[in-house]
């Protein structure tokens, strides 16, 4: 049976072990605080949802051993960790460093990093999120800061035996390319910084670097609250030397205020458009839902509806078919996400569908075509 790489993003905020999280979630359990307090805000609004595993500390290696086993048993074999660098130092590394990398069964799972280099806003603080986008930390990094951050990535993570690579090159994803360019001082300076990054990987004895970016779209609207509300077409990034791209969320390019099955044709059309126009591979992406009301006290419109395991399975089969029609590129499929509870897009089992989403992955990628 053909092997697929099913890579689920991880939002590493479900722990209180990072001291700087207390300004957002003072109860000391990370963003579980917002999930636990979430309520329905409108007729038919499908909250609360509760994790079947409880409000676990995902920086605990014993917890991660359970999660790795559940993921791998159902066909998820890569985690993409959201990785942060604010105020000239890392943020939210505990889940990766203390949880995943210390899990005894970590060898069952590959991982790679997505540098979530957007600004840190007050939206993480539910007490103040309705008031707008006050910036806490800026995500843009100048050249010296970029080199410090990427040196840490190379030394601490790229050298791990289960770091995910394509053609022997460690994969590194950048979320907000416009913010990257702004921090480094323009396109030319950004290309020079990326060239330095590649050379540093070679000097470290690695096979090079596979640089990936998060694709948005010209139709992008800032529904997430986390993104800057700006976008540059992928064609403008060609000179920066990226090797591939994928999406992070349907909300970045599709009208998600509909039923899931109504969105899927737009998703398929976007994949095909990118396949025709990009000078590098696009890896198909499946989102499990969208509703970020748990982060707010007031009601936030724009909710992806009818996100049943059956509809998710349709999307996964679309992605599998796309991978099969592109045998010249690695069979990588990204999924949002493993645990984005405050955006209602997660594979972890809940009290609504149980293990339904994971079972959908298993039916498509472990059992094969039915």
Q: How confident is the model over 146-167, as a mean pLDDT? A: 98
What is the per-residue DSSP string for 286-333? EE-----GGG-SS------B---HHHHHHHHHHHHHHHHT-TTS--EE
Q: Which two structure tokens, joined as six digits, stand for 68? A: 């790795």
The C-alpha atoms of residue 275 and residue 283 are separated, in whole angstroms, by 9
The C-alpha atoms of residue 112 and residue 173 are separated, in whole angstroms, by 8
pLDDT of residue 235: 55
Which DSSP category does 348 fall into? S
Q: How confident is the model over 236-261, as a mean pLDDT? A: 91
Q: 286 near 316, Cβ under 8 Å?
A: yes
pLDDT of residue 229: 42
Q: Which residues pair with 91 in a beta bridge?
A: 84
Q: Give the residue, 81 or 227, on which the prediction is more confident.
A: 81
Structural domains in the chain plus CATH codes: 5-365 (3.20.20.80)
Which DSSP category does 108 fall into? G
The C-alpha atoms of residue 104 and residue 110 are separated, in whole angstroms, by 13
pLDDT class of 266 with cuts at 50, 70, 90: very high
Structure pTM? 0.95
Cα 18 to Cα 156, 276, 370: the distances in Å are 18, 43, 44
- H or E element that contains 276: helix 260-277
- Residue 334 backbone phi and psi in degrees, to 5: -95, 150
pLDDT of residue 221: 35
Of 345, 339, 358, 350, nearest to 57 by C-alpha is: 339
* Pairing, β 169-174 against β 110-115: parallel
- Residue 177 backbone phi and psi in degrees, to 5: -65, -40
pLDDT of residue 370: 43
Which DSSP category does 354 fall into? B
What is the per-residue DSSP string for 7-23? EEEE---S-S-SGGGGG
Contacts of 29 (CB under 8 A, 6+ apart): 14, 15, 16, 36, 55, 57
The C-alpha atoms of residue 315 and residue 267 are separated, in whole angstroms, by 9
pLDDT of residue 330: 97
Percent of the chain at pLDDT exceeding 70: 93
Q: How far apart are the first and last CA of the chain?
A: 13
- H or E element that contains 203: helix 187-203
Q: Which two structure tokens, joined as six digits, stand for 84? A: 């942060």
Half-sphere exposure of 302 (CA within 13 A, CB side): 16
pLDDT of residue 2: 73
Q: How confident is the model over 100-113, as a mean pLDDT? A: 98
Lowest mean pLDDT among 152-161, 184-193, 218-227: 218-227
């Amino acid at each position: 049976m053909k092997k697929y790489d099913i890579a689920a993003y991880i939002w590493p905020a479900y722990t209180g072990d990072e001291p700087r999280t207390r300004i957002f979630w003072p109860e000391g359990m990370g963003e579980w605080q917002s999930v636990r307090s979430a309520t329905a805000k409108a007729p038919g609004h499908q909250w609360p949802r509760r994790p079947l595993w409880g409000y676990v500390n995902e920086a605990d290696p014993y917890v991660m051993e359970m999660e790795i086993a559940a993921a791998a048993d159902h066909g998820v074999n890569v985690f993409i960790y959201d990785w942060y660098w604010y105020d000239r130092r890392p943020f939210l590394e505990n889940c990766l460093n203390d949880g995943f990398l210390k899990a005894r069964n970590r060898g069952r799972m590959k991982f790679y990093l997505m540098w979530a280099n957007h600004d840190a806003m007050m939206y993480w603080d539910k007490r103040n999120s309705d008031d707008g986008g006050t910036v806490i930390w800026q995500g843009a990094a100048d050249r010296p800061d970029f080199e410090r951050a990427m040196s840490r990535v190379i030394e601490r993570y790229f050298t791990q035996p289960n770091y995910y690579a394509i053609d022997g090159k460690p994969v590194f994803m950048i979320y907000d390319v416009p913010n990257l360019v702004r921090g480094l001082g323009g396109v030319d300076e950004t290309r020079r910084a990326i060239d330095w990054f590649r050379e540093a990987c070679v000097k470290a004895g690695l096979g090079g670097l596979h640089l990936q970016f998060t694709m948005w779209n010209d139709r992008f609207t800032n529904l997430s609250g986390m993104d800057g509300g700006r976008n540059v077409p992928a064609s403008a990034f060609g000179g920066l030397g990226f090797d591939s791209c994928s999406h992070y969320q349907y909300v970045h390019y599709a009208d998600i205020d509909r039923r899931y099955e109504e969105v899927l044709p737009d998703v398929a059309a976007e994949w095909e458009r990118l396949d025709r126009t990009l000078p590098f591979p696009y890896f198909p992406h499946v989102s499990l839902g969208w509703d970020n009301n748990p982060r707010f006290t007031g009601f936030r419109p724009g909710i992806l509806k009818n996100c049943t395991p059956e509809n998710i399975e349709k999307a996964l089969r679309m992605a599998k078919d796309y991978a099969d029609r592109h045998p010249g590129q690695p069979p990588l499929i990204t999924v949002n996400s493993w645990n984005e509870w405050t955006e209602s897009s997660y594979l972890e089992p809940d009290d609504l569908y149980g293990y339904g989403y994971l079972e959908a992955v298993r039916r498509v990628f472990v059992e094969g075509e039915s």
